[in-house]
Amino acid sequence: MEKNIKKSLLLVGIGVGLYLIGAVFSVSNGTLSLILKACAVVLIVGGLFAFEILSYFKKPK
């Protein structure tokens, strides 16, 4: 349980970092910024929902 929370928080942290890098690059290179921001959003959403998805599949039937 504890490891899953840490992994999802790590994904969210990486996503936030990528988004900030994308915001910096938006001044010089718009396309690269869009790619970085898209990856960042995927990581953030994935990190937030990874714990929910994993707990759903690990429920005893």
pLDDT at position 21: 79
What per-residue confidence (pLDDT) applies to 13? 82
Predicted confidence band at 8 (pLDDT cuts at 50, 70, 90)?
confident
Confidence of residue 15 (pLDDT cuts 50, 70, 90): confident
Give, for 46, the enclosing helix (H) or strand (E): helix 30-57
DSSP designation for 59:
S
Q: Cα(20)–Cα(40) distance, rounded to whole angstroms?
A: 9
Residue-wise pLDDT for 16-61, tens only, equals 888 887 777 767 777 777 888 888 888 888 777 876 776 777 666 5
